[in-house]
Structure 1
């Protein structure tokens, strides 16, 4: 069956991205997105859980909604593999829509949802967006309708806020990695910066954020690479600018995390 994935980017819709994927054995590394992830499984099943437990299984016809910053993975299940599509709208885009409709964003953490009508709307939206003969007006209208339906269907949930139980040391460690995401960071140096032992830091950081400090930094580098690739930059230069050893290194990590190569991601724009 093999693995295939195509990433479409719609600059005229605020940089909205749409992944259409068909995987038989591709396993995503644990990662997060700074956008929402909203999609439907068309065939088979996929386990989105970062821990691999059954709570993350999304089956045919079910909707998957993952909030920004939430750790998750992706493993196709069974002989059918998994054929699905996923929208990646920015938090700012959905916040603006929610404010205009006087509703909250849905507080959904890794939910797989049965809602046939909205699943059909998502499928219709994806079809219109990737149709080459669709006008900008067509795409703008169908996407706006889709967002409005999303907010109407899920408006009873309250908006998400960052957990308040993050210790000052962990908050500082996270901020330090954001500030130095493209630079070489040593664990001893990071531990001294935040005032706890490196052993406590590694254990507490992984428990709280779902990734080790080094993998968290790698994810930050990937997020920055996506931004630069969306602008059409040179892949080798982007790899070095984001802190990867070289283009090959970034390519392996990028595909393992997002299912597409940096070149494919950069070139799929509509």
Structure 2
């Protein structure tokens, strides 16, 4: 199927996804205002980037800086399938709260498990989930593929102050888990960058701030269901985007839908 599709989230307009199947998305040399992450699912292509010739193949990830001139020439258009993730430059720099070091293009080879994992995360970006979940996914994709801190004059380290800060953030989420919490909120509260917050939380609690918030919401919802509370009321009171989002998360944690759990307790 020859097609090009775009996805944008009006409520979180820091990224855009482009899916191309057996199509050349641009036949001219060009540059993007955004940083570009490409995932090649099928086929191969010759990419000319700043007068340097590079070959990208199936299971390759490509990272191109904003403003870098490049063009893409598929070896066989009938065997060419990829997705592009465009990221606003100011958002990318907000991850670390500093300007990033310039670069041209980097390529990473992946195995099938890597591709499947990244594809699932890109799919989740197109679902009805919260800003903090989507922002966490974007940062996770970048760090998994290209190790974000390498693009900044910064190195991550952990000391006692950082550990104290991670518990401070955890307590903030404990006290506000039903509210809308963004990484920007946590950054302002703790004084750490968004990237630093996610790294610290993963190292100390083996999860992300958003996943921890979801866990608190789900456990609270479970107790409310035991009391016979209405599912739509619980969805609203716990801060889920909608009932389908609540149902999906509840089933992921407990292997059963909220409705079935409610019926089993009555």
State the TM-score, normalized to the length of structure 1: 0.47
The structure with the larger Rg is 2
Q: Which has the higher contact order (CA 8 A, sep 6+)?
A: 1
With normalisation by structure 2, the TM-score equals 0.48
